[in-house]
Structure 1
Amino acid sequence: MHLGVPVSVTTGPGERSRVDMTMMYAVHDAFQRDLDRLTAMAEGGVASGPAVQAGWDRFKRFLHVHHTAEDTHLWPVLRAKAGDPAVLDQMEDEHTRLTALLDAVDAAVASGVPERLALHAGRLAEALGAHCEHEEDLALPLVGELLTEAEWNAFGAEQRKRLGSGGAASFFPWLLDGAEDGTRRKVLGVVPPPVRFLYRAVWRPRYQRAPRWQAPAA
């Protein structure tokens, strides 16, 4: 999820751009991490309780913010500039198809049946993983080529607005939960110093004390 970090020439693997896509790659990783954890928990027989519900509510919130901002402030801007709309049609179609899979996991969480949750969480993980891969391979190169600094920052501002007051306090600990050291350094390197301080001193400790999805035991 892009939150309006400074523009840079550095983006994802092998790419160079006028905008910094550090957050985009990190949030895609976080979505996949969450669904892998949820699937593993359900396969281990855990499908109900405060941690399951809190984690699912958090996941849905951040995914909704991310995809809604793309649909309102990213794809339309690219559509106006790109010669071929096929990639953007694909992104929007995939967002639509994910809705039914999210609804199925919603119902599975409510049921508390581990086998049902494992099945539908696994299906969502596969579909969302494929979507993020398509986006990184096909859409983000268009972002780097066509978007201006102001347009990219407007996309970030829309997500901040949708997260609401204090949204960073829940977003950054979730984003970096279990992240590789390199990802953590890159993300914290593009946020203002006060955000880094609050993340380390307040937000992460509070997040770790609350009910949340845990990585499966090795």
Structure 2
Amino acid sequence: MTTEPLADVRDMYMAHTMFRREIGLAPALIRGVADNDVARAAVIADHLRIVDNGLHHHHTAEDKHLWPRLLERDTAQAQPIVAVMEEQHTSIDQLLEAARSGLAQWRTTADATQGEALAATMSLLSERLAEHLAAEEDLALPLISQHITAAEWGQMIADSAGDVTPEQMPLIFGMMAYEADPGTVQDIIAHMPPEVSGIIGDLAAQVFAAHAQQVYGTATPARVGARGEVVL
């Protein structure tokens, strides 16, 4: 049993809510693009590429930093849970790859038939992702809170940022903080490195509001809540 501080997993719930919302709202965004409106399709495609990149690195970081350590420290309880997590990650990765291919074609044509096929893929991705995130929160996060140290958690969070540039950080954090408890957001900012926390703060909310206005036509898009129930 470690005597080191253990992981504070609250930021995981923030990330999950963001992924539920942005991918859950994607089919309507795609279907709302007029046939041949390539400029609008590019806006939506660029937005979904940011979300896709975040989800890809999020899962890759979990695969690298969390599941092997859980198996080392609590094999009996962790083994079936990790097996489910890895199987779900594989299924989601396949849908993400299909979505990437569909987006690459649709963004240059805004063809309605391609858009409908892409929207159907995103709907299926949203369903699978919702199942996975609920399972992770119910089964894996309690084990992580018991067996993963704060330092190890920090490594995972750092890796989950992937290739996000400093300029993109306010937008990504703003997307995550949009539905989060303000106290939790402030706690997370307080534990960031100074070079990061200094560019987050109020800027994140402002940047996300401007981005949402461009993507959704409103600075306050629909909220989905902790388990994906849309709140208008």
Q: Give the TM-score normalised by the residue count of structure 1.
A: 0.78
Aligned residue for 1:19? 7
Contact 1:37/1:213 (8 A) holds in 2: no
Correspondence list, 1:157-196, <5 A = 157-160=158-161, 162-166=162-166, 168-176=169-177, 178-179=178-179, 182=181, 184-192=182-190
Aligned residue for 1:66? 58
AA partner of residue 124 (structure 1): L
Aligned residue for 1:4? none
AA partner of residue 25 (structure 2): R
Does 1:31 pair with 2:19? yes
Does 1:99 pair with 2:99? no
1:179/1:136 CA distance change after superposition, 3 Å: same
Contact 1:91/1:131 (8 A) holds in 2: yes
AA partner of residue 35 (structure 1): I
Contact 1:26/1:175 (8 A) holds in 2: yes
Query: How far apart are the structure 1 equivalents of 2:152 and 2:201?
Result: 31
Contact 1:35/1:125 (8 A) holds in 2: yes
Does 1:155 pair with 2:143? no
Contact 1:188/1:196 (8 A) holds in 2: no
1:165/1:45 CA distance change after superposition, 3 Å: closer
Query: How far apart are the structure 1 equivalents of 2:147 and 2:12?
Result: 17
AA partner of residue 39 (structure 1): P
Query: How far apart are the structure 1 equivalents of 2:34 and 2:100?
Result: 15
Aligned residue for 1:143? 144
AA partner of residue 21 (structure 2): R
1:200/1:81 CA distance change after superposition, 3 Å: closer
1:50/1:207 CA distance change after superposition, 3 Å: farther
Aligned residue for 2:42? 50
Residue by residue over 1:123-182, the C-alpha shift from the partner in whole angstroms, topping out at 9 and shown as x without a partner, is 00000110001111111111012222332233223335x245515333212223x425x3
Residue by residue over 1:1-54, the C-alpha shift from the partner in whole angstroms, topping out at 9 and shown as x without a partner, is xxxxxx98xxxxxxxxx4211110010000010012211212334585232111
Aligned residue for 1:14? none
Three-state SS of the structure 2 residue aligned to 1:20 is coil
Contact 1:39/1:121 (8 A) holds in 2: yes
- Aligned pairs, how many? 198
Q: Which consecutive residues of structure 1, in runs of 5 or more, have no partner in the other structure?
A: 1-6, 9-17
Contact 1:46/1:114 (8 A) holds in 2: no
AA partner of residue 71 (structure 2): R
Residue by residue over 1:27-83, the C-alpha shift from the partner in whole angstroms, topping out at 9 and shown as x without a partner, is 000001001221121233458523211111101111111111101111111111122
Q: Which consecutive residues of structure 2, in runs of 5 or more, have no partner in the other structure?
A: 223-231
